[in-house]
């Protein structure tokens, strides 16, 4: 397949590396002024992967869009709407879009596939690729499982069958709403986990149980299958997000609780606000998400705020353990 990966940061460069190894004809695009593109252009590698010479590195967005039958996007979730305005200036009719990114639009509560649909791409041409796994492990040959989901059943099966390997086993998603919300929401739980790593690590067990239930309620209210919260896109991604030293969101929460600053992208920050918006829209209480949002956006001493806000979760009225 002719594939263009738009975005050449850590995930974008890995996706180009992986899809090229699968035998596809791959171009990896990045903005010419971007640091990630500059490093790859000058050295042929970054701290994660070395780009094979078969991979075509380009800063020409028109070329990257027009050459491909499949366009994989891996950029910051909050920049997707503006980026799609640039992409759709070029002919995209008939092209398949695969979103390998996790988030919810902060100002609208829109899922990423909805944003792409609103940009003019038919929903049957859109798929999402999410699930557990860190680049640092993949490049060492450590396998994992991921999910491809779409409203187009034939598309998700074709993509999963074409992309799977001994390194990544793909499953067919069956609930696009649940898959997207679950994948985004696990980053919020990752921030909470990072805070707990500082103030009380044993409470991460309660976070896992209650966090998945909180997200399940939201998915159900939005019209999805609440059981999706217990699949690979959410609960199945907790190991890599709530425990791994490679998790940006966990590291963000940990450093905030220590009164320090994390300099890299943590998608869960903006996602916490987006989820609260969705909770209000659908009448769902999201206590963990609300606490994380206050941790991320509150004023004053960061470490003290983390202890206060996360601590409040454990003074709430008693609940039935599983179903409340």
The structural domains of the chain, with segments of one domain joined by +, span 2-172, 176-315
> Residue 323: is its pLDDT beyond 70?
no
Strand partners of residue 72 = 5, 98
Query: Residue 290: pLDDT band by 50, 70, 90 thresholds?
Result: very high
Average pLDDT over residues 200-213: 94
Average pLDDT over residues 73-77: 97
What are the pLDDT digits (tens) for 140-170? Answer: 999 999 999 999 999 999 999 999 999 999 9
What are the pLDDT digits (tens) for 29-54? Answer: 999 999 999 999 999 999 999 999 99
Q: State the angle between helix axes of 302-312 and 287-297 in degrees (0 to 180), rounded to the nearest 10.
A: 170
Average pLDDT over residues 14-33: 97
Contact residues for 318 (Cβ-Cβ < 8 A; gap 6+): none
The per-residue pLDDT for 221 is: 98
The per-residue pLDDT for 5 is: 98
The per-residue pLDDT for 126 is: 98
**Percent of the chain scored above 70 by pLDDT?**
98
Q: How is 215-250 classified by DSSP, letter by letter?
A: HHHHHHHTTS-GGGGGSTTTGGGHIIIII-TT-HHH
The average confidence (pLDDT) of the chain is: 95
Query: Residue 324: pLDDT band by 50, 70, 90 thresholds?
Result: low
Q: Is 258 a catalytic residue?
A: no
The per-residue pLDDT for 148 is: 98
What are the pLDDT digits (tens) for 292-306? Answer: 999 999 988 889 999
Select the CATH number that applies to the domain covering 2-172 from these four: 3.40.50.300, 2.40.50.140, 3.40.50.720, 3.40.960.10.
Answer: 3.40.50.720
Strand partners of residue 99 = 73, 128
In the set 186, 204, 280, 319, the catalytic residue is: 186
> Residue 278: is its pLDDT beyond 70?
yes
The per-residue pLDDT for 282 is: 98
* Rounded Cα gap, residues 10 and 8, in angstroms: 7
The per-residue pLDDT for 265 is: 87
Q: Which fold has domain 176-315?
A: 1.10.1040
The per-residue pLDDT for 10 is: 93
Provide the CA 322 distance to its chain's centre, in angstroms.
Answer: 27
> Residue 12: is its pLDDT beyond 90?
yes
- Judge whether 106 and 129 are in contact, CB under 8 Å: no
CB neighbours of residue 74 within 10 Å: 22
Query: Residue 259: pLDDT band by 50, 70, 90 thresholds?
Result: very high
> Residue 321: is its pLDDT beyond 60?
no
Helix (H) or strand (E) holding 9: none
Average pLDDT over residues 88-108: 97
Q: How is 250-293 classified by DSSP, letter by letter?
A: HHHHHHHHTT----S--THHHHHHHHHHHHHHHT---HHHHHHH
């Amino acid at each position: 397949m002719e594939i263009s990966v738009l975005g050449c940061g850590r995930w974008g460069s890995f996706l180009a590396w992986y899809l090229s190894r699968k035998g596809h004809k791959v171009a990896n695009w990045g903005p010419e002024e971007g640091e990630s593109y500059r490093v790859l252009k000058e050295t042929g590698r970054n701290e994660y992967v070395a780009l094979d010479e078969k991979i075509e590195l380009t800063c020409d967005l028109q070329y990257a869009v027009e050459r491909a039958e499949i366009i994989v996007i891996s950029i910051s979730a909050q920049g997707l709407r503006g980026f799609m305005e640039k992409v759709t200036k070029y002919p995209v009719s008939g092209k398949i879009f695969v979103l390998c990114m996790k988030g919810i639009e902060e100002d609208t509560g829109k899922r990423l596939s909805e944003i792409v649909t609103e940009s003019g791409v038919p929903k049957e041409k859109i798929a999402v690729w999410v699930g557990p796994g860190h680049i640092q492990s993949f490049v060492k040959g450590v396998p994992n499982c991921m999910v491809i989901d779409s409203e187009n059943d034939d598309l998700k099966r074709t993509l999963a069958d074409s992309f799977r390997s001994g390194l990544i086993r793909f499953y067919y998603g069956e609930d696009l709403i649940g898959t997207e919300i679950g994948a985004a929401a696990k980053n919020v739980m990752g921030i909470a986990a990072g805070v707990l790593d500082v103030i009380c690590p044993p409470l991460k067990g309660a976070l896992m149980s209650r966090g998945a239930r909180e997200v399940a309620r939201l998915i159900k209210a939005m019209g999805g299958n609440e059981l999706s919260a217990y699949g690979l896109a959410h609960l199945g991604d907790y190991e890599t997000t709530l425990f791994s030293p490679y998790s940006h969101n966990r590291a963000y929460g940990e450093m905030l609780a220590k009164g320090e600053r994390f300099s890299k992208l943590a998608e869960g920050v903006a996602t916490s606000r987006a989820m609260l918006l969705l909770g209000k829209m659908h009448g769902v209480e999201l206590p963990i998400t609300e606490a994380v949002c206050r941790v991320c956006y509150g004023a004053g001493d960061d470490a003290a705020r983390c202890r206060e806000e996360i601590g409040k979760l454990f003074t709430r009225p008693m609940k039935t353990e599983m179903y409340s």
